[in-house]
Structure 1
Amino acid sequence: GRVYGVESYGLEGDHLKISLTEELPNFGNTGFVLPNSIQFKRGDKIFDPVPNDVELNVPYFSQRDNPRFDWSTCNVTAIAMAFYYYGVRSKWGGQLEDELLQWCFDYAGQGSQTDHSVLSALIQAYGFKTSFDTTRKWADVRSELLNRRPIVLAGDFTAAGHIITLIGYNSEGYIVQDPWGDALTGYSDTEGRKLMYPYGYINQVAGPDGNVWAHFISR
């Protein structure tokens, strides 16, 4: 086979998007390949460009200490965790999620934090690119995490619906920051920091594949 220098790569769905250090005739330097169709080497060592384990350094915020509407602020709290990961801090000096809640109220009225279109406007107002979709696939979710971007995920974790932050994955499931606590205990355990929700459970409450509700956030 041929050997090429790689300038950059990232996972997009089931494919790797690769930019080479050279232009190929009638092709250019950027294209998509299946991960198992190529071999990556760094020096003399072969490595897997799609790791089996990813965990982002996203902080944990609980919605339970929010002074207003703690029971219905999973949305802004989940977004606040992603924002903080990207370097955003509260302009008020308090909790970032409280500032985001007020933005929603100012933009569309009290209770509007439960509207995904308002949440998308909020994310954009803070200078981020965002897309919200209700038909995402789990492969796209993993791609975002592999590319070091946390995900704000909606699902039936509670009877009324709930939003959490995905920060990674491993062989067993997704690593999450759940602002209300541990869903696997029915939220009798209120600690939601760096929990592992099994793939089967996540697919049951936030799937199935092709029907995943998620906000993708990037710079």
Structure 2
Amino acid sequence: MPNADCTRNCWIAGGLTGLLVLIFTSVIGPLRWFEGLVLGLVAFGIMGAFLVWLICRGRPAEDAAGWHPAHHDTTPAEDMQLQPRGIRSQAAEGFLGAAQSAPTPRVAPSGDAQPVPPALRTDSGRNDIYGGSDDAGQADDLKQIKGVGPKLEELLHDNGVTRFDQIAGWGDAEIDHFADLIGRMGGRIRSDDWVAQARALARGEDTEFSKRVEEGSVY
């Protein structure tokens, strides 16, 4: 340890020795506190000086001026200077230049080649997940399902859902998909049980809510 730390620790040990002398002579022993304090100070001075002489004498203080970093042998590859980011090497420049200068060959289409159609979309530009255009004359009144208002019916139409049998065939994946599309009202798909209502309506049965819609007392 440095010389200053050694000296400090020795005097701390001397102070503890003096404290013990005070306790055993005045607190526990028969002497008065003043007498014990004097003996404790004497013990502190003697013990501290003795420890400094015994332990710290001749210990040199650490000097950073004489410190030198250790030498480590490195290979030539490790000594290569790293280039800053954004600077390309000559080899990379040559490779990129050759790649950019080489033209991309064009393949002439043969008579049997057919263009790949884009993702299926309806004429209105909607995202039809059911993959077919729906005949407007065959569309069901989706508002007969409790929880489906005019706005939600329009959203369902925009996503290719126009008939009861489509909703009747929904599984968890479709329910979660349309719940995300609807937003905060998406939970009504399960709470109002759209699938069960759609199955009944697809079979030609009437529900209490669908009767009210047909009578015009809802919308």
> What TM-score do the two structures reach when normalised by structure 2?
0.18
Larger Rg: 2
> What TM-score do the two structures reach when normalised by structure 1?
0.18
Q: By percentage of residues, which structure has more strand?
A: 1
Higher relative contact order (CA 8 A, sep 6+): 1
Q: By percentage of residues, which structure has more helix?
A: 2
